[in-house]
Chain A
Amino acid sequence: MSFLSELGEFMLARKKYWLMPIVLMMALLGGLLVLTKGSAIAPFVYTLF
């Protein structure tokens, strides 16, 4: 829960309210995405993500 409030505060501070629907959509799709394999370490192109 603290994560959600921090994310909310972040969007408020950055005035990026329009990111909210994208994040919500991704949270819904997240279940699917999270199930795919991967690691926290960026796999290829430089350190873009």
Chain B
Amino acid sequence: MRILGLSAYYHDSAAALVVDGRPFAAAQEERFTRVKHDAVFPANAVRYCLAEAKATLSELDAVVFYEKPFLKFERLLETYLSVAPAGFRQFLTAMPLWLREKLFQKRLLSDELKAIDAGFDPARLHFCEHHLSHAASAFYPSPFERALVLTLDGVGEWPTTSVALGNGAALDIVKELHFPHSLGLLYSAFTHYAGFKVNSGEYKLMGLAPYGAPRFAQTILDRLVDLKEDGSFRLDQTYFDYMGGLTMINPRFEALFGEPARSAESPLRPFHMDIAASIQAVTEEIVLRMTRALSIETGERNLCLAGGVALNCVANGKILRDGRFKNLWVQPAAGDAGGALGAALATHHLQFGGARETPKTLDAMSGAYLGPAYGQSDTEARLTAAGAVFETLEEEELLARTVAALGEGQAIGWFQGRMEFGPRSLGNRSILGDPRSPVMQRTLNLRVKYRESFRPFAPAVLAEDVSSWFEHEGPSPYMLFVADVVEARRHAMTPEEQGLFGIDKLNVVRSDIPAVTHVDYSARLQTVHAETNPRFHGLLRAFKAATGCSVLINTSFNVRGEPIVCTPEDAFRCFMGSDIEMLIVGDCLLRKELQNPGLMHDYKSSFELD
């Protein structure tokens, strides 16, 4: 049975193909259109999924959209009525969109699908609720026979948080929190307040948190959030504007913290770091109260997470170390893109009664390597057409040359195999660096990625060596858990260094691997497994053999505001427009100094800042 899942029209459009209940192919539309968080109908991603399966749309058993438009419309109308006349401006903005297009999403989707395959039968188009899509994406690919499933995000139709129980092929939502009481929207409100873009800057806020002190956490809990013992909560809407207005927060919110919202790209001050630390602490408190109460209530030992809030890897690490659940699995595409995959999985198991075989390996996500790949001859043809100068090497030589360049402090573009599904680069579309270098964090941030200097980098570590570098045991293949660098690898800071504040602290060499050690000694881990990514695993082994260090910096292959590269041509363009010094695409090795200088270009201004 082959089912195609779709997410579109809000943000992060994607398509995912499920074959006999297993994720087969999946990609976000932004990777093809080169527009970050692109929300258009994912025609390119659909075509890719079909090509991967060598199928046409009309041969599929079903196509499923990841949410139900009528339910969303109901929520909008009821919300506008409840705040009327205050919500008139948002009403006037939203309703034309709905009356012209969104309310007729079935027809809109049918037309788009028919444009891909005129023989597509609209009767095969189904709709799955937003949080059920998330829950399905978290449970079905997980390695658990039964589990508690917690989904947390901004909002879908009505639910903002849902709790489900998964058992075999069954998945039942047992309780929900509804709009406007949303942890995702609360975090987004603070993202906006700290001057970052809502729906893309949440990571930055999380990365900023360790620089500050959570001195506003109690204020948030006292004034904004009515938090109950079981983690359920209500938000005091007199501080927010998102129900009827056009922004997240109102002047009362700003008055509460004593400063106006920071404007984008203006300097970050200790105040903003404290705000970030405070909302992060409150988020962790809410999530931990929920998971603790749910573990007592259900007695389940396995927990699955999805929804945008599940990308908060700091909170995930806290849940893991809290020990209430023996095992924790987080869907790597936890945001709305993953909803496409979940919608297809839910339809397979719940609507068509497909049996579920619990994965015997890490999980059923194949390392999240579900996107397009390019064969060696195709890669060479594409690079040649792009004007690249390259040499083709055997694997051993390729790894040796890469390791040597890494040791010299070079930034390496690393492009291999199938593209990752989800927001993280996991070693197939990555920029790599030596984490032992004390200058690498600044260099990569400012010269290669053109992004803010405070942002930390993530380590990729050999799965078998993870405990000798980080206070973590077990797999973390998707960079969704944060763990501290082990004591033995930390460097004691002098009293002078300890006195440094905020971003100045970043330049202190705090461990053997300073480039991936955050100011609080934490790191966002990726364990690399031979069974899901043998070549990247081989590179790490070669790096360890040469240096004794089984860790590399792994950051996404893009510059600020750019979607992660998809094709060899994208990789070459990014290479020529940034300070990446060496590029590996499949078996091809490209050195910057050998390239045609005429192909170098100003790249960073090509993308809108995120």
Contact = CB atoms under 8 A, between A and B. Distances in A.
Nearest to B68: A10
A26 B99 contact: yes
Interface string B95-135: 11111111110111000000000000000000000000000
B289 interface: no
A42 B72 CA distance: 13
Contacts of B154: 46-48
Interface in A1-40: 3, 6-7, 10, 14, 16, 19, 22-23, 26-27, 30, 33-34, 36, 38-40
A3 B11 CA distance: 25
A48 to B, nearest CB: 6
Nearest to B70: A10
Nearest to A33: B96
Contacts of A38: 93, 96-97, 100
Nearest to B81: A22
Given A30-B99, A39-B97, A40-B108, A48 B39 contact: no
B101 A40 contact: yes
Majority secondary structure, B binding face: helix
A44 to B, nearest CB: 6
A45 B248 contact: yes
A28 to B, nearest CB: 11
Contact of A16 (B9, B74, B184, B242): B74
A16 to B, nearest CB: 6
Contact of B242 (A23, A33, A45): A45
Contacts of A47: 10-11, 154-155, 199, 336
Interface in B164-199: 184-185, 188, 198-199
Nearest to A45: B242
B77 A22 contact: yes
Nearest to B67: A47
Contacts of B76: 48-49
A3 to B, nearest CB: 6
Interface in B22-46: 39-40
Contact of A7 (B70, B90, B96, B155): B70
B247 A33 contact: no
B94 interface: yes
Contact of B10 (A33, A39, A42): A42
A33 B99 contact: yes
Contact of B246 (A3, A34, A36, A44): A44
Interface in B358-387: none
A43 to B, nearest CB: 7
B532 to A, nearest CB: 31
Interface in B149-173: 154-155
B191 to A, nearest CB: 10
B195 to A, nearest CB: 16
Contacts of B10: 41-42, 47
Contacts of A10: 70, 74
B104 A3 contact: yes
Nearest to A32: B96
Contacts of B101: 40
A27 B74 CA distance: 15
Contact of B93 (A6, A7, A19, A43): A43
A42 B11 contact: yes
A27 B100 CA distance: 11
A38 to B, nearest CB: 5
Contacts of B77: 19, 22-23
A41 B9 contact: yes
Given A3-B107, A22-B77, A45 B9 contact: no
A35 to B, nearest CB: 8
A19 to B, nearest CB: 6
Contacts of B103: 3
Contacts of A27: 99
Contacts of B107: 3
Given A47-B154, A47-B199, A40 B99 contact: no
A34 B106 contact: no
B242 A19 contact: no
A46 B81 CA distance: 20
Contacts of A41: 9-10, 39-40
A48 B155 contact: yes
Contacts of B108: 40
A22 to B, nearest CB: 6
A33 B90 CA distance: 13
B210 to A, nearest CB: 25
Contacts of A16: 74
A40 B102 contact: yes
A36 B95 CA distance: 10
Nearest to A36: B96
A45 B81 CA distance: 19
A14 B74 contact: yes
Nearest to A27: B99
A42 B246 CA distance: 11
Given A19-B77, A22-B77, A40-B108, A48 B242 contact: yes
Contacts of B100: 33-34, 38, 40
A33 B95 contact: yes
Q: Considering residues A23, A36, A39, A47, which has the most beta carbons from chain B within 10 angstroms of its beta carbon?
A: A47
Interface string B216-235: 00000000000000000000
17 contacts: A3-B103, A6-B70, A6-B106, A10-B74, A16-B74, A23-B77, A27-B99, A30-B99, A34-B100, A44-B246, A45-B242, A45-B248, A46-B155, A47-B154, A48-B76, A48-B154, A48-B155
Given A46-B198, A46-B242, 9 more contacts: A16-B74, A22-B77, A26-B99, A38-B97, A46-B184, A49-B72, A49-B76, A49-B97, A49-B98
